[in-house]
Amino acid sequence: MRRLLAALIMMLFSASTLAENASEEKQASDELQWQIMFELALVHDPTILEVAELDSVWSFIGGGLYLDLSYKGFFIQTNRYRANTFAGEFGYQLIERENWGLDLVSKVYLPGFDPEAIQSYNKKKTPDFEKLNERNIGAGFALRYSHYTDKDLFTADLATLNPSFGNNSWLVDLYYSHLSIYQNWDIYTGAGLTYYSRDVVNYYVGVIPEESSENFAVYQPGDGFKAEAQVFGLYPLSKSWTLSLGVTQSYYSSSFNASPVGFRQNITQLKLGVRYVL
Distance CA(205)–CA(195), nearest Å, equals: 15
Q: Is 120 in the site for other proteins (CB under 8 A)?
A: no
Q: Is 248 in the site for other proteins (CB under 8 A)?
A: no
Using CB under 8 A, which of 232, 252, 256, 263 touches other proteins? 232
Q: Is 153 in the site for other proteins (CB under 8 A)?
A: yes
Q: Is 269 in the site for other proteins (CB under 8 A)?
A: no
The residues, ordered by sequence, that sit 6+ positions from 143 with a Cβ below 8 Å of its Cβ are: 8, 11, 12, 15, 102, 103, 104, 105, 157, 158, 159
The 10 Å Cβ neighbour count of residue 108 is 17
Q: Is 214 in the site for other proteins (CB under 8 A)?
A: no
CB 109 within 8 A of CB 138: yes
Provide, rounded to whole angstroms, the least separation between the CB of residue 181 and other proteins: 7
The 10 Å Cβ neighbour count of residue 197 is 22
The residues, ordered by sequence, that sit 6+ positions from 220 with a Cβ below 8 Å of its Cβ are: 202, 206, 207, 208
Stretch that binds other proteins, among 45-53, 173-181, 211-219, 258-266 (CB under 8 A): 173-181
Stretch that binds other proteins, among 106-114, 118-126, 160-168, 180-188 (CB under 8 A): 180-188
Residues 7 to 36 in contact with other proteins, rule: CB under 8 A: 27, 29, 33, 35
Detail the DSSP E strand segments found in 111-223.
138-148, 152-160, 170-182, 185-196
Using CB under 8 A, which of 3, 124, 210, 238 touches other proteins? 238
Q: Is 63 in the site for other proteins (CB under 8 A)?
A: yes
Residues 78 to 97 in contact with other proteins, rule: CB under 8 A: 78, 82, 96
Cα angle value 118/121/123 (rounded, 5°): 110
The residues, ordered by sequence, that sit 6+ positions from 200 with a Cβ below 8 Å of its Cβ are: 110, 138, 161, 165, 169, 170, 171, 223, 224
Q: Is 274 in the site for other proteins (CB under 8 A)?
A: yes
Provide, rounded to whole angstroms, the least separation between the CB of residue 253 and other proteins: 27
Residues in the chain, total: 278
Using CB under 8 A, which of 46, 88, 101, 224 touches other proteins? 101
Interacting residues toward other proteins by CB under 8 A:
27, 29, 33, 35, 38-40, 58, 61, 63-65, 68, 70, 75, 77-78, 82, 96, 101, 146, 148, 150, 153, 177, 179, 181, 183-184, 186, 188, 232, 234-242, 244, 274, 276-277
